[in-house]
Chain A
Amino acid sequence: MANHPADRRYTKDHEWARREGDLVRVGITSFAVEQLGDVTLVDLPSKGTKVKAGGHFGDIESVKAVSELFAPASGEVVEVNATLEKNPELVNESPYDKGFMIVLKLESSAELDKLFDAAAYAAFLGSLEH
C-alpha cells in the first residue's frame, strides 16, 4: 500500500485534508485514485460555496464511473483547482499535491481532529481488503 503523507488527515471516503493555518486543502487519496482509474472530469463548486463536513461538494469522473466528493470539514470554498478542468489527469499523477480539489476556510478545526491520521487511514485501508 502506498504511503500516505503524515501532514494531513483522512476520511473514510478517501479524501485528504491538510491544515494550512485557518485554511484546509482538500483532495482525494492515492487509494481513491487507484480505484477510480483514469480521471477524465472533475466537477467542483465555485468559490464562495459553503460546504458542510461530510456533505457532497463535487463529483469526480473516471472513464468508467462517477464518484461523489465529500467535504472533510465545514467551511467556505476559497480556492478551486482550476487546472483540473483542462488537466484532470493531474489527479492521477499527483493526488497529494497538484491534483488537489479545493481549499476551504475552516469553521472549526475540531472536525479535522476527528478524522484518521495517516497511520489510522492505512489501517482502515487494510481492514477494507478483507
Chain B
Amino acid sequence: MTDALRRTPLYERHCALGARMVPFAGWEMPVQYKGVTQEHAAVRTAVGLFDVSHMGELYFEGPGAAACLDSLVTNDIAKLAPGRAVYTVCCNERGTILDDLIVYRLSETRFLVVCNASNRDKMQAHFASQVRGRCTFTDRSDETALLALQGPKAASVVRELGGDPVLTSLTRMGVAQTTLAGISLIAARTGYTGEDGYEVFCALSDAGTLWDRLLEAGKKHSIEPIGLGARDTLRLESRLSLYGHEIDETTNPLEAGLGWVVKLDKGDFLGRAALLAAKAQPATRKLVGFEMVGRGIARQGYPIVDGIDGKGAPVGVVTSGSPGLHIGKNIGLGYVPPKLSALGTSIGIEIRGKVIEARVCATPFYKRST
C-alpha cells in the first residue's frame, strides 16, 4: 500500500526538516513540521512555505479554449482577462460539484486549471472526454511542482530574492510567466490561507532549488515550512471550502454559499439547467459558519441538532471543525435547514453523545486587516 504513494520532488527536504509524512490523496505529504499551532501562527503573522505539488495542473489551449472552459465551469471565463485568475466550481449535469478549481488565464488562448489532488484522475478523465472545439486539453500535473508562499511577509520574501518586476507588481488574483531566483516559472498572487501570498508553478527539477532559496530568503522574516495540518486550519478560519468536506457530488454550489461563482446568465454550461431549477426552489439546507459556545470541538460528520436541550432531532451535519487557532475560538462549518441559518441562531452539535451549544456566526471567521 505505502509503496504506491507518490512523492513530490521535495520529499527528502520535508523529512530532513522533521516533517511527519502522511498519506494524502495518494501522496506522501508533510502534515506538520514543528506543529500545527506554530505553523498556523507563522502564516498569520509572518510567512510560510507550502509544498502543494500534489495538486493537479490541467491546461486548456487553443483559440477555442475560453469557450470550451466556459461550457464546463460555472464562473465566467470569457470575462477573465489574460493575466488574471478566478475561483470556480465544475458541476455535473445534476448541478452538483465535481471539483472546485482556480482557472488562470495565462494568455488569450492559454489556461491553467488547478484541481484538487483527490480529484485529479476524475477531472482529467472528465475534461478529456468533454473537451470540444479548437482546444486541446493536457494534464501536466506530473511535470509540475507547486509551492505556496503565504503570509503578510510573502511579498518581502519575494523582493528579497530580487523578484522580477512582473512578479512583484502582481496584484491579488494576478498571474504571470516570470522568473524567481533565476528559475523560469508561473507565479500567481493566489492562495488558500486568507493571507496575501503567491503560488508558484515550476518544473519538478527546479522545485528543490526554489524551495531552498525561498526558505533562505525568508529567514529574516521568520519563515516556516507549513504542512497540510495548518493548511486546513488556515483555510477553515478563512471559510474556504474543502472538497470532500463542504462540497462534493451531493452538494450544489448554491447551498454551499458559492452562488457568487455561478454565472447563470453567461450562456450554457454543464449543470446550468439543474442549477436554474435548484434556484427556483426554496433551499433545503444552507452551509453556515458557527462558533462553539460550550466546551468542545466540532468535527466532520458530527450531527447538528435543533436546540441545545438534548431533545432536538438531528437536522444537519458538520462539514469541518477545528480550533480557530488565530481567533482563539473553536469554529466549524456545517449544513443546517434555512430556518436555523440566521446569524446568532443557537444550534446543538452532538459531540460523542453530548449536545454542546454552538452559535451561527458571520464568516470568514478571520479576515486579514489589509
A residues with a Cβ closer than 8 A to B are: 37-38, 40-41, 43, 59, 61-64, 66, 85, 92
Contacts and interface: CB of A to CB of B under 8 A. Distances in A.
B295 A64 contact: no
Given A37-B229, A41-B295, A41-B297, A63 B36 contact: yes
Residue from A37, A40, A64 with most neighbouring chain B CB atoms (10 Å) = A64
Given A40-B323, A59-B352, A64 B229 contact: yes
10 contacts: A37-B20, A38-B38, A40-B297, A40-B323, A41-B296, A43-B296, A59-B352, A63-B229, A64-B322, A85-B295
B299 A63 contact: no
B233 A63 contact: yes
A122 to B, nearest CB: 20
Interface residues of B, dominant DSSP:
mixed
B36 A64 contact: yes
Contacts of B229: 37, 63-64
B325 interface: yes
A63 B295 contact: no
Contact of A61 (B37, B232, B297): B297
Contacts of A64: 31, 36, 229, 232, 322
Nearest to A92: B35
A66 B322 CA distance: 11
A37 B32 contact: yes
Interface in B255-303: 295-297, 299
Contacts of A59: 352
Contact of A63 (B20, B296, B325): B325
B296 A38 contact: no
